[in-house]
Amino acid sequence: MQTTTVKAFGTEAAEAPLKTLNIERRAVMPSDVEIEILYCGICHSDLHAARNEWMNTVYPIVPGHEIVGRVTQVGDAVAKFKPGDLAAVGCLVDSCRECEYCREGLEQFCEPGATLTFNSPDKFIDGQQTYGGYSQSVVVDERFVLSVPESLDPAAAAPLLCAGITTYSPLRHWNVGPGTKVGVVGLGGLGHMAIKLAKAMGAEVTVFTTSPSKVEDAKRLGADDVVLSRDEEQMAAHANTLNFILDAVSAPHDINAYLGLLRADGTLVLVGAPLEPLPVVSFNLILGRKSFAGSPIGGLPETQEMLDFCAEHNVVPDIELIGVDDVNDAYERLLKGDVRYRFVIDMKTLN
Ligand code: NAP
Ligand code: ZN
Ligand code: ZN
């Protein structure tokens, strides 16, 4: 396989800061799209992976799965894209395409396992892992490339590719809409998208945050009510009030406190992904016939649907645009919950 060397920003060890690296990108094959990366969002999963918190990282790693850029080259068989188009890549860059799930456009459940945008074995370059969006360019099969509606600001659109779809998909799957009382736990990148999307779907939204400094923001982002989750009185006042809770917390926390907020037949969906087990008290589920569920990203058709929904409903992430030199600092701020509400890297700064 012919390859091209491009610049990227990643790390060679869990304890080491990210720095400029050289990586290889494959030559464009017939159904491939080459994208010059303009912007890449920083997801907390980037940090979990860079620091080997999920204990499966192969180094070097180049994180980044919220990619927006311009198409620079397409293979002969590509129908959907041409050079100059605004395009995006999310968390998946390949899958088997043949299993029951892939045929339904649910590539996130691919049976042999989908290829993630970073830290998956690369199918085309022997012995290499996939490298993510903290880089100058990427080459991806067109099936895994999304169209960015021209009305969306390209920098602000980047977080939709993970934070957007990861919250949109469960809100849709559990039929959130007018009349649904939704709780959002953890006001970070995912949490702030959950507020905006649930409101755009017509739901009533209560936000649960550990950060007093985010209360006003939560309201500005659209929340009908905001609760400081470390205040037991405020929590007690919301017992048995919610139909659906989306939990987007990146660290261990007490799930039982939230199960108690659900009404009978309510569902708590975990999208936050701390490695540690989260113990559940059986009666917190049994007594109200409640469900405790999880949800990963979304398939390609639903990701496109989400982008189009955001364009139509003017749902735009709140971003802080940074340069690559700020990435290590941004990781430290993420760990402190100090994010308003998604860092997006201006990839020009890598040159
Ligand atoms: P983020 O921007 O860092 O937000 C996480 C938020 O969780 C923080 O802002 C904070 O909100 C809250 N939090 C952090 N530490 C806490 C603690 N010790 N106790 C209680 N609350 C705490 O992260 P993100 O990018 O939104 O990602 C959130 C999680 O979702 C991560 O674990 C990430 O890996 C995961 N994720 C999963 C999927 C999926 O497919 N399921 C996709 C993307 C990301 P407050 O200040 O409001 O308390
Ligand atoms: Zn992510
Ligand atoms: Zn498959």
For residues 278 and 177, membership in a common domain is answered with yes
For the chain, the average pLDDT equals: 98
For residues 250 and 223, membership in a common domain is answered with yes
Measure 114 CA to ligand 3 centroid, in angstroms: 7
Task: Provide the H-helix boundaries in the chain.
Answer: 44-50, 100-103, 154-157, 163-173, 189-200, 215-220, 232-237, 256-259, 282-286, 300-313, 327-335
Please work out whether the CB of residue 160 comes within 6 Å of at least one atom of ligand 1.
no
Residues 228/236, Cβ–Cβ less than 8 Å: no
Tens of pLDDT, residues 126-184:
999 999 999 999 999 999 999 999 999 999 999 999 999 999 999 999 999 999 999 99
Q: Which of 49, 68, 10 is nearest to 348 (CA)?
A: 68
Please work out whether the CB of residue 187 comes within 6 Å of at least one atom of ligand 1.
yes
For residues 191 and 256, membership in a common domain is answered with yes
Please work out whether the CB of residue 44 comes within 6 Å of at least one atom of ligand 1.
yes
For residues 282 and 306, membership in a common domain is answered with no
pTM over 0.85: yes
pLDDT value, residue 351: 85
pLDDT band for position 92 (cuts 50, 70, 90): very high
Q: Which of 101, 151, 142, 132 is nearest to 315 (CA)?
A: 151
Tens of pLDDT, residues 230-285:
999 999 999 999 999 999 999 999 999 999 999 999 999 999 999 999 999 999 99
For residues 114 and 180, membership in a common domain is answered with no
For residues 21 and 105, membership in a common domain is answered with yes
pLDDT value, residue 24: 97
pLDDT value, residue 330: 98
pLDDT of residue 292 exceeding 90, the answer is yes
Q: Whose CA is nearest to atom 34 of ligand 1?
A: 45
Tens of pLDDT, residues 29-86:
999 999 999 999 999 999 999 999 999 999 999 999 999 999 999 999 999 999 999 9
Q: Identify which of 56, 192, 249 to mutate to test ligand 1's pocket (most ligand atoms within 8 A of the CB).
A: 249
pLDDT band for position 1 (cuts 50, 70, 90): confident
Structural domain containing residue 260:
166-294
Can you give the CATH number for the domain in which 197 is found?
A: 3.40.50.720
Which residues place a Cβ less than 5 A from the ion ligand 3?
A: 95-96, 99, 102, 110
Please work out whether the CB of residue 108 comes within 6 Å of at least one atom of ligand 1.
no
Three-state SS for 230?
coil
Residue 204 to residues 178, 225, 248, 304, Cα–Cα distance (Å): 8, 9, 18, 25
For residues 113 and 27, membership in a common domain is answered with yes
For residues 115 and 73, membership in a common domain is answered with yes
Can you give the CATH number for the domain in which 12 is found?
A: 3.90.180.10
pLDDT of residue 288 exceeding 90, the answer is yes
Residue 303 to residues 43, 52, 64, 172, 332, Cα–Cα distance (Å): 16, 27, 17, 12, 29
pLDDT band for position 22 (cuts 50, 70, 90): very high
